[in-house]
């Protein structure tokens, strides 16, 4: 009886130890799995943070580069506009100087001579503003005296400032040599050349 009781106690101890070992092993396995999951999650999160930071850095760099390129384009456009404006002002000043001198009369005489050589140009009218007409009438008339017999007349019109216009075929067509028109024409001719030079300097 005593032997049986001892065997029973030994069996209980053995079963308890095995159960405890099994439970401990299960706890250890679960803890190990949990630790591995935590490490894996931490690595994934760290990798995601690094990728997000890299992407954000690339976006910031690209945004900065785009902003610099746009600022450069804006500066170049502004510079071209400034050069174009300055060119137009210089042209206007020089055209004004020529048109306010006695050279204007010679220009008119030459332009009329060119127009009278065309067969389809009849009834030429030279139009000046009243101030220029008064100042240049004698010189222009003297230069055109041979051609005045061919139906050339002088006329005043104060709708433009400086220069002259030529009307042909009883006003059917106008050719504008006014200060503003000549400045625009010269500016339109020179601006692309200036722009090309600026592009070469980029």
Provide the CATH number for the domain around residue 195: 3.30.2320.30
Tell me which residue range forms the domain holding 162. 102-200
CA distance 127 to 129: 7
Contacts of residue 111, Cβ cutoff 8 Å, sequence gap at least 6: 164, 166, 177
Provide the pLDDT confidence category of residue 192 given band limits of 50, 70 and 90. Answer: confident
Alpha helices in the chain (DSSP H): 2-99, 103-116, 130-144, 179-200
- pLDDT tier for residue 160 given thresholds of 50, 70 and 90: confident
pLDDT at 121: 61
pLDDT score, position 137: 78
Task: Choose between 138 and 61: higher pLDDT.
Answer: 61
Determine, yes or no, domain membership for 149.
yes
The percentage of residues in the chain with a pLDDT greater than 70, rounded to a whole number, is: 82
Domain for residue 45, yes or no?
Answer: no
pLDDT, average across residues 6-19: 68
151 assigned to some structural domain: yes
Backbone φ and ψ of 84, nearest 5°:
-60, -40
Residue 114's pLDDT is: 80
Q: What is the pLDDT of residue 92?
A: 87
Q: Please indicate, yes or no, if residue 51 is contained in any of the structural domains.
A: no
Asked if residue 170 belongs to a domain, the reply is yes
pLDDT-derived band at 31 (thresholds 50, 70, 90) equals confident
Please report whether residue 150 resides in a domain: yes
What rounded mean pLDDT belongs to the chain? 80
For the chain, the domain total comes to: 1
Q: What is the pLDDT of residue 44?
A: 87
pLDDT band for 198, please (50, 70, 90 cuts): low
Q: How far from 87 is each of 51, 80, 82, CA to CA, in Å?
A: 53, 10, 8
pLDDT at 73: 85
State the distance between the two ends of the chain, measured CA to CA, in whole angstroms. 111
What percent of the chain is predicted at pLDDT more than 90?
Answer: 0
| pLDDT tens for each residue of 73-102 | 888 888 888 888 888 888 888 888 888 877
Q: Is residue 146 part of a domain?
A: yes
Q: Tell me, yes or no, whether 84 lies in a domain.
A: no
Cα–Cα nearest to 141, from 130, 154, 122, 151: 154
- Whether the full predicted model's pTM is greater than 0.75, yes or no, is no
Least confident residue range of 38-52, 104-118, 155-169, 175-189: 104-118
């Amino acid at each position: 009886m005593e032997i049986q009781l001892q065997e029973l106690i030994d069996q209980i101890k053995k079963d308890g130890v095995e159960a405890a070992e099994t439970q401990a092993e299960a706890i250890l396995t679960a803890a190990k799995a949990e630790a591995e999951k935590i490490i894996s999650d931490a690595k994934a999160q760290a990798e995601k943070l690094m990728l997000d930071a890299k992407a954000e850095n690339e976006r910031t760099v690209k945004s900065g580069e785009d902003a610099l390129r746009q600022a450069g384009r804006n500066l170049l456009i502004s510079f071209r506009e400034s050069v174009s404006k300055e060119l137009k002002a210089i042209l206007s000043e020089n055209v004004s100087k020529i048109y306010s001198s006695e050279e204007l009369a010679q220009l008119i005489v030459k332009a009329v001579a060119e127009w009278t050589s065309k067969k389809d140009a009849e009834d030429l009218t030279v139009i000046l503003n009243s101030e220029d007409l008064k100042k240049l009438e004698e010189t222009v008339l003297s230069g055109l005296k041979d051609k005045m017999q061919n139906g050339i007349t002088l006329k005043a019109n104060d709708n433009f400032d400086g220069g002259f216009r030529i009307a042909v075929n009883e006003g059917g067509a106008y050719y504008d040599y006014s200060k503003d028109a000549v400045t625009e024409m010269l500016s339109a001719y020179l601006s692309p050349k200036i722009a090309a030079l600026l592009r070469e300097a980029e």
